[in-house]
Amino acid sequence: QNHARLLITCLDQPGIVAAVSKFLFDRHANIVQSDQYSTDPEGGQFFMRVAFDVPDIKHDENLREDFKTISEKFDMDWRISFADELKRVAIFVSQQEHCLLELLWQLQSGDLTAEVPMVISNHPDHRELVESFNIPFYHIPVTKDTKKEAEAEQLALLKDKVDVIVLARYMQILSPEFVSQHPGKIINIHHSFLPAFVGAKPYERAYERGVKLIGATSHYVTNDLDEGPIIEQDIHRVNHHHRVDDLKRIGGQIERSVLARAVGWHLEDRIISHNNKTVVF
Amino acid sequence: QNHARLLITCLDQPGIVAAVSKFLFDRHANIVQSDQYSTDPEGGQFFMRVAFDVPDIKHDENLREDFKTISEKFDMDWRISFADELKRVAIFVSQQEHCLLELLWQLQSGDLTAEVPMVISNHPDHRELVESFNIPFYHIPVTKDTKKEAEAEQLALLKDKVDVIVLARYMQILSPEFVSQHPGKIINIHHSFLPAFVGAKPYERAYERGVKLIGATSHYVTNDLDEGPIIEQDIHRVNHHHRVDDLKRIGGQIERSVLARAVGWHLEDRIISHNNKTVVF
Amino acid sequence: QNHARLLITCLDQPGIVAAVSKFLFDRHANIVQSDQYSTDPEGGQFFMRVAFDVPDIKHDENLREDFKTISEKFDMDWRISFADELKRVAIFVSQQEHCLLELLWQLQSGDLTAEVPMVISNHPDHRELVESFNIPFYHIPVTKDTKKEAEAEQLALLKDKVDVIVLARYMQILSPEFVSQHPGKIINIHHSFLPAFVGAKPYERAYERGVKLIGATSHYVTNDLDEGPIIEQDIHRVNHHHRVDDLKRIGGQIERSVLARAVGWHLEDRIISHNNKTVVF
Amino acid sequence: QNHARLLITCLDQPGIVAAVSKFLFDRHANIVQSDQYSTDPEGGQFFMRVAFDVPDIKHDENLREDFKTISEKFDMDWRISFADELKRVAIFVSQQEHCLLELLWQLQSGDLTAEVPMVISNHPDHRELVESFNIPFYHIPVTKDTKKEAEAEQLALLKDKVDVIVLARYMQILSPEFVSQHPGKIINIHHSFLPAFVGAKPYERAYERGVKLIGATSHYVTNDLDEGPIIEQDIHRVNHHHRVDDLKRIGGQIERSVLARAVGWHLEDRIISHNNKTVVF
């Protein structure tokens, strides 16, 4: 109820922590958790996350306003989030349901905390499932010819309604225009292998190569396909007994748990992106 | 060279971080990494580790002295370590060499940074090995009847010469008197299973039970046998193909890597113990 | 459609594999996968699983009958299962839904293949959920005084209707009488820690002890509480930042994936129990 | 002493297992472990490994000769190895010692069983270390201009003296001519990331990208650089706190354990390569 999180990125320089600590101390905030990290104390990049409680935070209208004296002094990128202002998540999905279902289920059980104002899909398949969770479902087909219109329709639906977009196995590539409307706010999940198998039929090629590990990576979407800042990764051990279908099934299990962790960390404001990299506190 | 670490434990209360930050800021310290954690912002326990650089730290004789104004105000348990004051590690070993060898090797390669003024063993077996690393080796046999004298001899050797004692598969139980001479400064490693197999022949019993995971736990030694604060744990997957000897061999691999990580974290002042628990920053 | 699995346990002795191979060869079976394992070639226990295809297996009424000439010669415990004879699973659940939901979902998606003729619970909570999967739900309250009658009622429902019982966080201890009715056919899941925390409030105690790993174990139920043959185990790394609630949440994630793997292996006839141990092929 | 291993690859067809089993049964062999695997029972590839004991196997001169009646019938690739005919391993190393040292140490402790007739290096650094294990050390410098002569010198040393070559962080690319002299007998280790970072300075790029997992892959060397059949892979979790040097250090730990496992499986004849893939039994 009184819980807030302050996230900061700026050039490292003496006095940042002292200034932030004093600011919170003067406002009678209790610091619950504080993490900071510097790429290099001399001219590197400084990252900080402070989770804190402020009594009657709701009456403290000016917390963000007041912090500007500090943020401007140190030229900070920063934000303050309040835990009781639930983030609004739009889920994009195609035909595979495993990631969608994991998210809906964790939201229902309280393992994830967010609002889901909409699920958008280029296929009609999951309408019944989504609506059974009392979430509006929008079917917006996408073809090569209609992609521009489809994205316009998606953007209109999303406008001012969502804080983060989760691509839960959404098998369409978003245009740079779309991505630029939600910078740093789109989370994707994709399979990962050692070595990587770029291109079509990755599981078939991983099988042919006899990989011993298969994995998944969740990352923020940038305009470099599957190349945005990595949020979370995990793997599972496999062996020659596993057929292509087994690899896909196990891959799906990893995808849903990795995506759910990444989304959870985003919702708890644990992630700061910088250049093409995340700091996860 | 100018690198130091400050570790703090105290009751959580407003103003700690602000005070510490200002102290370091006033002394022109660059904070390299800072971690803090509170069990409960209201009356809980507060833990903090700050790694920082101070120019000409060697001329700054009074850093520890000056910090007392803060530490006394907040009633802190605290310490400041300087990275160039190498910790002195005594390694205790019996007949199994794998943990000893891993430590010696990582010390040699620079993966671990410490001085090793002595290796003490109740068996003569590893004299040649230890001396080949130019480390003094002391053979102090221990029997039920001579344990008291043996420990007295060990303590005399250790006195004022070591900062931490690593039990690298030392198969003797240290007396409460011995432990009380080096409180919080003795690191042990032992096998761990799910479920636990208390008592003799644990690998045999794990095999008979068909466990699917075997593991190891490194912990600080207290007078509750194998019950001190846990520093690190890890496991490896096994199956029915693994015979008792395989389990022991794999267990040994886990033991040496878990122990080396635990020792490394201790050497880097990453660990704060409180009650029967560690915080590893 | 033509897929079958043969599972064998007997004393190891020369000629077993030759006899089994010849039997299958003579019947024009294609061996898809074969695994065998012997605890000791001299007087040890021999385990074998053969997955094979037989054309028109349905017309081959006498496969089981014919195999008796071999099984009797070697005094085998054995069974032949046909993949198209779906196993019938009864799920027992209390108030926590995560394991139930994982099973229902994997059954729906085809990751698990079985029939679920009933879900039985000592609480009414999950009726709607279960019935939404078109599975009959039976609420049978259990109190200390009514346990005997409740188990009688459960057994009556189960009689001749199920092949395996999955305790999906069913928080009641089954009586020896109940267990003896379904020997080797009851699968349980429970949390596991290093070290074990026997008794009440294990997560609280794991938190207080500062464990670095939490896990789960799935096992067959015998009359030694939580001591039956282990089928599968897994762990997840945690640290001091994780509060008791986090540990419980992460523990729940491990429980559901470990239980689902164990159930899947049982359904695919991959598990042979012997003494208090499983061989999982 | 009486322990042997039979490895078979051939087109899958009915009767293989029956024939092999009968062959071993007729010779009074006790099968200790048997694994088989078929990519597809209809026209797929069949793989089998049988570990067995034969009394007085040394007097059974004709085991290999006799098996030809079976191998020719089924057109098998096959081999029989005797556990007491130690494999001879040549280790190639450059300046990094961690993989070399792990192998030497495991060989010394008996975790690996082999003879090491030579260590070959393009640098002189590890002579003393290697010779302290009583193993001949050959320093053969390699430059762009002398590579051909250097390889000729290496091949002359190896000729008829070794069964397998382990590249323990040997930082030279072997020519196709060299590889063709030891087909399927050269084991390499290299770092692996998700995603892959092809080219120079992979750890630096992994750091810049903020990967959450770093790993290593051991594989047989073919003429596709780092693209031969994968034997073993593993990963370790990292985070933003880990600097480039930490990643390298952790990567080294994974490399040495992955390589040691791969070499161990090769020495125990657990690996069959086919096309560009391994089956590890």
Same domain, D77 and D195: no
Phi/psi of residue C39, nearest 5 degrees = -70, -25
Coarse DSSP helix, strand, coil percentages of chain D, rounded to the nearest 5 percent? 35, 30, 35
Residues of A catalogued as catalytic: 226
Which residues span the domain enclosing B68?
3-82
Whether residue D262 contacts residue D189, with contact meaning beta carbons closer than 8 Å, is answered with yes
> Residue B197: its pLDDT value, please?
75
Same domain, D94 and D71: no
Mean pLDDT of B160-181: 96
Same domain, A135 and A268: yes
Chains touching C (3+ CB pairs < 8 Å)? A, B, D
Same domain, C195 and C175: yes
Whether residue C155 contacts residue C92, with contact meaning beta carbons closer than 8 Å, is answered with no
Mean pLDDT, rounded, of chain A: 92
Phi/psi of residue D152, nearest 5 degrees = -60, -40
**Spatial separation of the C-alpha atoms in residues C45 and B117, rounded to whole Å:** 52
Residue of A nearest to D271 (CA): A240
Residues of C in contact with D17 (CB under 8 A): 17, 21, 25, 31, 34
The neighbour count for residue D141, using CB atoms within 10 Å, is 11
For a pLDDT cut of 70, what percent of chain D falls above it? 96
> Residue A55: its pLDDT value, please?
78
Any CB–CB contact under 8 A between A228 and chain D? no
Per-residue model confidence as pLDDT tens digits over D112-129:
999 999 999 999 999 999
**Spatial separation of the C-alpha atoms in residues B97 and D252, rounded to whole Å:** 21
H-run or E-run covering D192: strand D186-193
Mean pLDDT of B170-174: 95
Mean pLDDT, rounded, of chain C: 92
Choose among B6, B197, B141, A117: nearest CA to C230: B197
Q: Given strand C115-121, what is the order of strands in its sheet?
A: C137-139, C115-121, C88-93, C164-167, C186-193, C213-220, C230-237
CATH of the domain at D43: 3.30.70.260
Per-residue model confidence as pLDDT tens digits over C128-170:
999 999 999 999 999 999 999 999 999 999 999 999 999 999 9
Chains touching D (3+ CB pairs < 8 Å)? A, B, C
Residues of B in contact with A19 (CB under 8 A): 21
Binning pLDDT at 50, 70 and 90, where does residue B58 land? low
Residue A57 has pLDDT above 90, yes or no: no
CATH of the domain at C214: 3.40.50.170
Residue B14 has pLDDT above 70, yes or no: yes
**Spatial separation of the C-alpha atoms in residues D32 and B53, rounded to whole Å:** 61
Residue D225 has pLDDT above 80, yes or no: no
Rg of chain D, C-alpha, whole Å: 21
Residue A46 has pLDDT above 70, yes or no: yes
Measure CA C159 to chain center: 18
**Spatial separation of the C-alpha atoms in residues C207 and C202, rounded to whole Å:** 8
User: Across the interface, do D101 and B101 touch by the CB < 8 Å criterion?
Assistant: no
Per-residue model confidence as pLDDT tens digits over D97-109:
999 999 999 999 9
**Spatial separation of the C-alpha atoms in residues B20 and D41, rounded to whole Å:** 70
**Spatial separation of the C-alpha atoms in residues C152 and C146, rounded to whole Å:** 10
Which candidate from B33, B98, B132 shows the least CB-CB separation from D109?
Answer: B98
Phi/psi of residue A183, nearest 5 degrees = -65, 130
- Residue that wins the pLDDT comparison between A1 and D270: D270
**Spatial separation of the C-alpha atoms in residues A176 and D274, rounded to whole Å:** 44
| Minimal C-alpha gap between C239 and chain B (Å) | 8
Going from the C-alpha of C188 to that of each of C166, C228, C230, C265, the distances in angstroms are 6, 9, 10, 14
Q: Report H helices in chain D.
A: 16-26, 63-73, 98-109, 127-132, 147-158, 176-181, 202-209, 244-267
DSSP state, residue C29 = P
Whether residue C272 contacts residue C229, with contact meaning beta carbons closer than 8 Å, is answered with no
Number of domains in chain C: 2
Decide: helix, strand or coil at residue C27. coil
Which candidate from A29, A32, A35 shows the least CB-CB separation from B38?
Answer: A32
Would you state the structure tokens that stand for residue C228, as one six-digit string?
A: 């039956």
- Residue that wins the pLDDT comparison between A14 and C65: C65
| Minimal C-alpha gap between D48 and chain C (Å) | 9
Q: Which of A252-256, B80-84, D191-195 has the lowest mean pLDDT?
A: D191-195
H-run or E-run covering B271: strand B271-274
Residue C56 has pLDDT above 80, yes or no: no
List C residues 84-113 in contact with A (Cβ-Cβ < 8 A): 97-98, 101, 105, 109, 111
Which candidate from C24, C32, C41 shows the least CB-CB separation from D38?
Answer: C32
> Residue C59: its pLDDT value, please?
63
Would you state the structure tokens that stand for residue A67, as one six-digit string?
A: 């912090």
Q: Which of B141-150, D22-31, D146-155 has the lowest mean pLDDT?
A: D22-31
3-state SS record for chain A: CCEEEEEEEEECCCCHHHHHHHHHHHCCCEEEEEEEEECCCCCCEEEEEEEEECCCHHHCCCHHHHHHHHHHHHCCEEEEEECCCCCEEEEEECCCCHHHHHHHHHHHHCCCCCEEEEEEECCCCCHHHHHCCCCCEEECCCCCCCHHHHHHHHHHHHCCCCCEEEECCCCCCCCHHHHHHCCCCEEEEEEEECCCCCCCCHHHHHHHHCCCEEEEEEEECCCCCCCCCEEEEEEEECCCCCCHHHHHHHHHHHHHHHHHHHHHHHHCCCEEEECCEEEEC
| Minimal C-alpha gap between C281 and chain B (Å) | 9
Same domain, D69 and D94: no
Binning pLDDT at 50, 70 and 90, where does residue D246 land? very high
Whether residue B80 contacts residue B64, with contact meaning beta carbons closer than 8 Å, is answered with yes
User: Across the interface, do A208 and D277 touch by the CB < 8 Å criterion?
Assistant: yes
> Residue C58: its pLDDT value, please?
66
Residue C234 has pLDDT above 70, yes or no: yes
Residues of D in contact with A209 (CB under 8 A): 229-230, 276-277
Same domain, B66 and B99: no
Mean pLDDT of B177-182: 95
Residues of A in contact with B212 (CB under 8 A): none
Same domain, A106 and A243: yes
Residue of A nearest to D207 (CA): A277
Choose among A24, A74, A77, A18: nearest CA to A51: A24
Q: Domain boundary at B25, B47, B82, which?
A: B82
CA angle C21, C24, C26 (to 5 degrees): 105
Same domain, C78 and C95: no
Measure CA C16 to chain center: 27
Whether residue D228 contacts residue D221, with contact meaning beta carbons closer than 8 Å, is answered with yes
Per-residue model confidence as pLDDT tens digits over C6-16:
999 999 888 88
Choose among D72, D21, D29: nearest CA to D48: D21
Same domain, D158 and D66: no
**Spatial separation of the C-alpha atoms in residues C123 and A64, rounded to whole Å:** 47
Any CB–CB contact under 8 A between B208 and chain C? yes
Whether residue D152 contacts residue D175, with contact meaning beta carbons closer than 8 Å, is answered with no
Choose among B278, B138, B269: nearest CA to B222: B278
Residue of C nearest to A249 (CA): C111
Same domain, C207 and C107: yes
**Spatial separation of the C-alpha atoms in residues A232 and C40, rounded to whole Å:** 44
Which candidate from C101, C111, C257 shows the least CB-CB separation from A105?
Answer: C101
Rg of chain C, C-alpha, whole Å: 21
> Residue B80: its pLDDT value, please?
94
Residues of C in contact with B275 (CB under 8 A): 208
> Residue A264: its pLDDT value, please?
97
Binning pLDDT at 50, 70 and 90, where does residue B225 land? low
Residues near C273 by beta carbon (within 8 Å), at least 6 away in sequence: C184, C220, C229, C279
**Spatial separation of the C-alpha atoms in residues A150 and A160, rounded to whole Å:** 18
Residue A32 has pLDDT above 90, yes or no: no
**Spatial separation of the C-alpha atoms in residues C95 and D121, rounded to whole Å:** 64
**ipTM (interface predicted TM):** 0.91
Same domain, B74 and B208: no
Q: Which of A14-18, C214-218, D91-95 has the lowest mean pLDDT?
A: A14-18
- Residue that wins the pLDDT comparison between B18 and A149: A149
**Spatial separation of the C-alpha atoms in residues A140 and A117, rounded to whole Å:** 16
Q: Domain boundary at B82, B114, B129, which?
A: B82
List A residues 56-75 in contact with D (Cβ-Cβ < 8 A): none
Any CB–CB contact under 8 A between C29 and chain D? yes
Any CB–CB contact under 8 A between D199 and chain A? no
**Spatial separation of the C-alpha atoms in residues D52 and D82, rounded to whole Å:** 10
User: Across the interface, do A33 and C241 touch by the CB < 8 Å criterion?
Assistant: yes
**Spatial separation of the C-alpha atoms in residues B154 and B220, rounded to whole Å:** 19
Angle between helices B16-26 and A16-26 (to 10 degrees): 150
Would you state the structure tokens that stand for residue A14, as one six-digit string?
A: 């003496």
For a pLDDT cut of 70, what percent of chain B falls above it? 97
Q: Report the DSSP pairing between strands D3-11 and D45-53.
A: antiparallel
**Spatial separation of the C-alpha atoms in residues C50 and C24, rounded to whole Å:** 10
Same domain, B77 and B99: no
Residue B87 has pLDDT above 90, yes or no: yes
Q: Domain boundary at A82, A105, A121, which?
A: A82
Residues of D in contact with B111 (CB under 8 A): 249
Catalytic residue among D226, D245, D246, D269: D226
Residues of C catalogued as catalytic: 226
Binning pLDDT at 50, 70 and 90, where does residue D195 land? confident
**Spatial separation of the C-alpha atoms in residues B139 and C132, rounded to whole Å:** 71
